[in-house]
Copies of this chain bind each other. A is one copy, B any other.
Amino acid sequence: MGTSVAPWKQLLFSAIESNSHLSHSSYLQLATIGLNGRPSNRTVVFRGFEENSDRIQINTDLRSRKIEELKHCPFSEICWYFSDTWEQFRINGRVEVIDASNPDQTKLQQREKAWFANSLRSRLIYICPTPGSPYNNSEQPNQEVKLDPSSGPVPEYCLLLLEPEKIDYLNLKSNQRLLFSSMASGTGEKCWTSEKVNP
């Protein structure tokens, strides 16, 4: 049972597949706790699962506010609504931040792999002026900014890994709602339980 696909993951794969004709279907909302203790919420892009794992990959800029927030409180809830199939996944868990300073070689390789999985255009974002800082026209990169397609990740590039602990699944067409919770088994394997609840 430990090696089988988590039951919610099958539902998520199916939703991703059924909504893949919509370009915004890979967009989800990531909530964190702001440094002032208030909620913070923004749209990010789903970048697939970590290999052989349930962890959700998200790219971000090391200079963005969510990095500071996640270092202060490493928990997040994703809200992912699929507009064609009327399905919602609320995925709660801990987020690991992997930047260039990570001491673990395996994690650095994972970050590099995720970097190259991005389009060249997506990689260019990390060379832009600091997100959220006052706009200064003279500071904007000119159109000539080039990035060697074979260059590895820039220091500003950061990989986030969300480890799902609880999933709240809602299907507004069938009016069904399922809660999935993870537990560590005796052998350290992750086990999932599920419960049908009222929508």
* Of the residues B22, B32, B131, contact of A199 by C-beta under 8 Å: B131
Q: Across the interface, which residues of B come within 8 angstroms of A31, CB to CB?
A: 29, 31, 39-41, 77, 79
User: What is the CB-to-nearest-CB distance from A35 to chain B, in angstroms, rounded to a whole number?
Assistant: 13
Contact A79 B42 (CB under 8 A): yes
Nearest 5 CB-CB pairs, A to B? A31-B31, A31-B39, A31-B41, A29-B29, A41-B79
For window 141-191 of A, CB contacts with B under 8 Å fall at 177, 179
- In Å, the complex CA distance between A27 and B90 comes to 15
Q: Bits for A66-77, please: 1 = Cβ < 8 Å to B, else 0.
A: 000000010111
Task: Give the A interface residue count (CB, 8 A).
Answer: 43
Q: Across the interface, which residues of B come within 8 angstroms of A76, CB to CB?
A: 38-39
Q: Decide yes or no whether A15 CB sits under 8 A from chain B.
A: no
For window 63-103 of A, CB contacts with B under 8 Å fall at 73, 75-79, 81, 83, 88, 90, 92
The count of identical subunits is: 2
* Most chain B C-beta atoms within 10 Å of own C-beta, residue among A31, A90, A92, A135: A31
* Of the residues B79, B88, B129, contact of A198 by C-beta under 8 Å: B129
Q: Decide yes or no whether A196 CB sits under 8 A from chain B.
A: yes
- In Å, the complex CA distance between A132 and B130 comes to 41
- List residues of chain A with CB under 8 Å of any chain B CB: 22-24, 27, 29-34, 37-43, 73, 75-79, 81, 83, 88, 90, 92, 128-135, 177, 179, 195-199
Contact A29 B79 (CB under 8 A): yes
Q: Across the interface, which residues of B come within 8 angstroms of A39, CB to CB?
A: 31-33, 39-41, 75-77, 92
Contact B77 A40 (CB under 8 A): yes
Contact A135 B198 (CB under 8 A): yes
Q: Across the interface, which residues of B come within 8 angstroms of A196, CB to CB?
A: 134-135
